[in-house]
Each structure stands twice: as C-alpha cells, then as structure tokens.
Amino acid sequence: AGHELTRRGALLVVEGLDRAGKSSQCEKLGDYLSQQGHTVKYIRFPDRTTPIGKLIDSYLRGSTNQEDHSIHLLFSANRWEIAKSIQEDISNGITIIVDRYSYSGAVYSAAKANPTLSLEWAWQPEIGLPRPDLCLFLSISAEEAAKRGGYGAERYENETMQTRVRELFRSLFNRQEDVAIINAGKSLKEVSKDIQVAVSKCVERLNVIGPLRVLG
Ligand code: ADP
Ligand code: 2DT
Ligand code: MG
C-alpha cells in the first residue's frame, strides 16, 4: 500500500553551433527545473571520459587523425555506450539535460562534404537511440556568434565548417518533430525564458507522450 508510480523524467536536448550558448543555457535550465522540484542530471556529448571518448578527444584536439566514417561511428558509439543509463535514469524519474546529441553527430560529419557521407548515411547509426522529448535548437547568425569570441583551436572551429553546419542543421530540423527553434541571439536571460516556456509545455505533456521513445 501507499506506493506511488514514479513519474518518468524528460529527455531534453540542447543543440546548436559553437558559441550559440548551449552550455550556459543547460546550466540555467538545470537550475530552473531543480527549483521546480525535478531531479536533474546534465550530460554532454561527446562524453570525453570513456575510452571511446578519449579517442574522440584526441581527434578533436588534432593530436590524431581518423577516417571520416570511422570517427563518425565512434561519436555514435559514444552515445550507444551511455544509452542504457539514460533509459534507466529517465524511468527512475530523473530529467536529463543533454548538451549536443545525434543532431550534431549527423550534421558535423555530413558537413565534411565527403561524397559517401551524406546526412542520410550519417543519421542511420542514431536510429534506436533514446529519442529526446524535446530538442531545443539554439539558432544564431554567424555575425552574432562572431561577437561572442573567435574560433577555438579544435577541429571544426572554422568558418567553412560552421557555415555548412548551420545549413545542415536547418535541413535536418525541417524533418524532425519535437524541435523548438530558439532565437539564441537575444540576451542570456531572454533566451533562458524562451527555453523555460518550451520545456514547461513539454514536461506538462509527458503523460500524453507516454514512455520514452527511440529515434527513427
Ligand atoms: P556553447 O556551449 O554553445 O559553445 P557557451 O554557453 O559556452 O556556448 O557560450 C559561449 C560564449 O558566449 C560564452 O562566453 C558565454 O558567456 C557567451 N554567451 C552565451 N550566451 C550568450 C548570450 N545570450 N548573449 C551573449 N553572450 C552569450
Ligand atoms: P564541444 O565539446 O565544444 O561541444 O565540441 N561533434 C559532436 C561531432 O562531430 N559529432 C558528434 O556526435 C558530437 C556530439 C561538434 C564538440 C565538437 O564535436 C562535434 C563540436
Ligand atoms: Mg559548450
């Protein structure tokens, strides 16, 4: 007697270009949801702490080279190795905020313009992973992003890649459901308000959405 059903957590993803404000907004969203009484966990991809993540880290820092398809599959494997723990946390009532996910995975690889690495090809290994209840796409212009500082030293942090990534994010999100496009060019506070509105709507609908789904 007296045992109540645990309400499942929500799987919330924050996506966008470098310097769109993803990490800052993940932190603000975590604080907001905690204040609302949710148990919240923050994770990020790539998760550079695992053995696969260490290979990815040295690739991103330019210490090693990897064939385009091969590194793509490692990024995906880095999500698959954590997929089960995501499912478990969600069913135990924990809301997970994810800093980059499959969308970055598909788009950054496809932006390399390798003739055998299309967006469609790049999406395939993501099929079956936990599906976000909501993906918040922080949309920012090249001009606004540039105001937030120059490019870092990592691979992909250059104008050619960023321009292609911006275009590919747009075409990917045209085809995805459960995406909220957030204007990330506003102030930190305004952006976080817009995110809170979108997330609250999603969290209220969780009982309608039902159990955690998988990416198709
Ligand atoms: P990302 O994780 O998307 O790369 P960050 O959250 O690390 O972005 O933010 C990149 C930089 O831009 C940081 O210096 C951060 O303080 C700043 N920043 C983030 N959001 C805003 C905003 N809305 N307006 C102005 N500066 C911002
Ligand atoms: P940050 O750690 O600064 O977010 O940069 N990337 C990310 C991919 O190419 N594939 C992926 O699957 C993921 C999750 C985006 C990480 C860099 O790695 C890229 C920028
Ligand atoms: Mg970040």
Tokens of residue 17, six digits: 């270009």
**Is the dihedral angle over the CA atoms 204, 210, 213, 216 positive or is it negative?**
negative
Please tell me the predicted confidence (pLDDT) of residue 189. 98
In a domain, 214, yes or no: no
Compute, in angstroms, the gap from residue 39 CA to the centroid of ligand 2.
Answer: 26
In a domain, 161, yes or no: yes
Nearest to 29 by CA among 104, 105, 96, 101: 96
Please tell me the predicted confidence (pLDDT) of residue 137. 98
What's the Cα-to-Cα distance from 16 to each of 8, 12, 193, rounded to whole Å?
Answer: 26, 14, 17
Q: How many domains does the chain have?
A: 1
Contact 155, 59 (CB under 8 A): yes
- CATH no. for residue 58? 3.40.50.300
72 lines ligand 1 (CB under 6 A): no
Compute, in angstroms, the gap from residue 185 CA to the centroid of ligand 1.
Answer: 10
Please tell me the predicted confidence (pLDDT) of residue 122. 98
Please tell me the predicted confidence (pLDDT) of residue 6. 79
Assessment of whether the complete model's pTM goes beyond 0.95: yes
Tokens of residue 148, six digits: 């937030």
ipTM of the complex: 0.98
In a domain, 1, yes or no: no
Residues spanned by the domain of 43: 11-206
156 lines ligand 2 (CB under 6 A): yes
Nearest to 56 by CA among 43, 71, 77, 76: 71
pLDDT in single tens digits along all 216 residues of the chain:
445 577 999 999 999 999 999 999 999 999 999 999 999 999 999 999 999 999 999 999 999 999 999 999 999 999 999 999 999 999 999 999 999 999 999 999 999 999 999 999 999 999 999 999 999 999 999 889 889 988 889 999 999 999 999 999 999 998 888 999 999 999 999 999 999 999 999 999 999 999 999 999
**Is the dihedral angle over the CA atoms 168, 176, 154, 121 positive or is it negative?**
negative
20 lines ligand 1 (CB under 6 A): yes
8 lines ligand 1 (CB under 6 A): no
Complete DSSP assignment for 48-74: TTSHHHHHHHHHHTTSS---HHHHHHH
Tokens of residue 128, six digits: 């079956």
In a domain, 211, yes or no: no
**Is the dihedral angle over the CA atoms 86, 90, 93, 96 positive or is it negative?**
positive
